Amino acid sequence: MKLTVAVSIAVALVPVVRGMAVETNDLTVPFAINIGNDTSTGNTVAWVAGDLQCQTVTIAPIGTNFSNPAPFTLSGEIFTAYTRDGSFSVNETINEINTYYANCTSLSEEDECAIPIEWQCP
């Protein structure tokens, strides 16, 4: 009797932000997301944390109630921002399925883009 064994090896490529892998709830995410209010445009915007190009994308007008999810695209990835029970979270859409991405941490600081970071979602 001949026995054949199939071996499967999974390899994960770990993305980095500023030279470090970003991990959240045992998941590795491709990059951290900053979210803040750009008062010059009147919009809540998102950008990749550490991106010195300061390329923001609009999520919604400032003051939007995020209990209704707001989709946005960042670095070619589709995300949805929403609030639940007072916390801010982001989901990623992969193959048309909304998948948990990160719970966001409330911040109050400016980064290189001169937009106050209100939330960071690593």
Give the pLDDT confidence score for residue 3 in this predicted structure: 38
- Joined together, the tokens standing for residue 3 give 């026995």
More confident residue, 48 or 111: 48
pTM to 2 decimal places:
0.70
CA distance 1 to 21: 47
Residue 86 vs residue 45, higher pLDDT: 45
Residue 29's pLDDT band, with cuts at 50, 70 and 90, is low
What pLDDT sits at residue 73?
A: 92
Q: What percent of the chain has pLDDT over 70?
A: 75
The share of the chain scoring above pLDDT 90, in percent, equals 19
pLDDT at position 24 is: 39
Q: Whole-angstrom Cα distance, residue 42 to residue 29?
A: 29
Report the range out of 3-7, 27-31, 48-52, 88-92 with the highest average pLDDT: 88-92
